[in-house]
Structures are given as C-alpha cells and as structure tokens.
Amino acid sequence: MTGELSPIDKAKFVAAKRAVDFVEDGMRVGLGTGSTAAWMVRCLGELVRDEGLKIKGVPTSTRTAALARDVGIEVISLDEARWLDVTIDGADEFDGDLNLIKGGGGALLQEKIVATASDQMIVIADVGKEVETLGAFPLPVEVIPFGWQTTKALVEEMLISMDVLGRNTTLRMIGDHPFVTDEGNHILDLHLSRIGNPRQVAMVLNQVPGVVENGLFIDICDTVIIGYGDGRVQVRDINDGTVENGRLDFAESDNLFTDLTE
C-alpha cells in the first residue's frame, strides 16, 4: 500500500508517526485539526488499540473529536482536563523561530486555546510548510458575524501601518455561504504575502473590535517535526536548540489507512 501514498502524504505520515513517540501512558493530549493531525490521531488510536496506551484526548474541533472517538481514544473537554501534557497539531506555515500560521481548517480559536493550555506544543508538518518569512499562506482571522463587514474594514485600515506586502482581505466561503466555525463565527483570510513583524500584527489584530482571535501562533510552539516524502524525519526543539535527524521505515496497515478522511 506504500506505493499508493503520494510523497506529501508520506511526509505527513512520518511526521505524525514520530510525534506519537512523545506521548506516554496517562497523558492528557491536545489533538489538532487538519490533514496532518488526522494522521497523528490515527497513529495514537493504533497505539491505544494494539499496545494498550491509556490517554485522554482534548480535540480542537468537532471533526477531530469524531475521528478520535472512531479510533478508540477517550475524549474529554478542556474544562475536564484543565491542563494538558502536550498538544500535537499541524501548521499551515512555520518559520525558523517556530512561529506559525494556523487556521486553514478554520479551527484556530480552539487550537490556540488548547495549545496554550499545554506544557508543550509539538507541530507536525511536511517540509513544504517551512518558510523564511510568514505570510504566503493567507492569515485566518476569526470574527463574530455581527458587523463583520465593519470589522473587515477596520482590519484593512489597521494593515496600512503594518509591515506587510499585501492587504487584500476576503471572507471565507463554503459555496454560496460564509464559512462558520465551531464557535459560530466567520473567518477573514488576510492575503499579506509577507509579514515582516508577526508579533506586532498578532497583537494589533486582537485589538480590533469584532476580532475573536488570529492565526498567528507566536512563542507557542516548542518542537517541530518535519516529514519528508522519502521517510526522513527531522525534530527541532526551539528550547534546547537541538536538531535530530532520522528516518522512519513503515508498513502501511489497513486499519490505519482505511477510510481516513482528511
């Protein structure tokens, strides 16, 4: 079945597979949202089923919660967990300082809350997600539906004074209707091309009335695990300043890969 996976999916899988090595029995684990995080949830489910791993998972979206339950992971709320040992999630972009853009899947609010309620945040990504400067991926900003057009105008006005290349802002749509997050909000996608000062943009955005949260994750990620299509894996720890290189040889099992929804 290995030959049926594209190089990008192989890269996502090996990053996810390496990440679950950080999970120990009895841990409370934040479960991210997105295609790469889905591989991780499946890998954890395999450990729960085949090796008796006992963990409690706090999902960052309704779809992650459904997948976690499907693969046998005990799901609890963040209020029940109160604090987490580790959160494992994907990213749309990350830079050399392990600052992130997240929210391509629309779950940035819950993802940021869960990540900041954890002792450690591990990001899993294919090598294509690494950038020198954040901003090529549109920056998601979650806004309340009431007065969203006014909020959009205020955001665009704020961007004039920011160190960014572009200022085009669009409302995320699903067909003919606005995308709605799990919290009942909308998403503005900011097409900035380059963000010269992510910390400043993140701080100023959250001062705009109507903005709930933005997709810039600054000083939150501790470790990034980068997967390659040939099975290589690199683990970078921003706190220890270490870089570990390895390779993961794997055989795809029917249980792990059947009916995986991205």
Checking if the pLDDT of 260 tops 50, the result is no
Element (H, E) at 17: helix 7-19
- Across the range 130-146, mean pLDDT stands at 98
Question: In angstroms, what CA-CA distances link 165 with 61, 157, 256?
Answer: 32, 14, 42
Buried b (16+ CB within 10 A) or exposed e, 70-109: ebebebeebeebeebbbbbbbbbbbbeebbbbbbbbbbbb
Dist CA 220 CA 32 (whole Å): 14
Name beta bridge partners: 89: 123
As annotated, the active-site residues are: 111
At residue 253, the pLDDT reads 52
At residue 261, the pLDDT reads 37
Percent of the chain whose pLDDT exceeds 70:
94
Mean pLDDT of the chain: 94
At residue 2, the pLDDT reads 43
At residue 203, the pLDDT reads 98
Checking if the pLDDT of 182 tops 50, the result is yes
- pLDDT band with cut points at 50, 70 and 90 for residue 24: very high
Q: Is 199 left (phi over 0), alpha (psi -120 to 50) or beta?
A: alpha
Lowest mean pLDDT among 93-107, 112-126, 206-220, 245-259: 245-259
CA pseudo-torsion sign 37, 155, 212, 207: positive
Instruction: Check: CB of residue 5 under 8 Å from CB of residue 74.
Output: no
pTM of the shown model: 0.93
Domain boundaries, given as residue ranges, for the chain: 2-129+219-257, 139-214
Q: What is the dihedral of CA 27, 67, 46, 233, to 10 degrees?
A: -80
Q: Which CATH architecture best describes the domain 139-214?
A: 2-Layer Sandwich (3.30)
Annotated binding site for substrate: 33-36, 89-92, 102-105, 129
- Residue 241 makes CB contacts below 8 A (sequence gap 6+) with none
At residue 5, the pLDDT reads 87
2-129+219-257 fold: Rossmann fold (3.40.50)
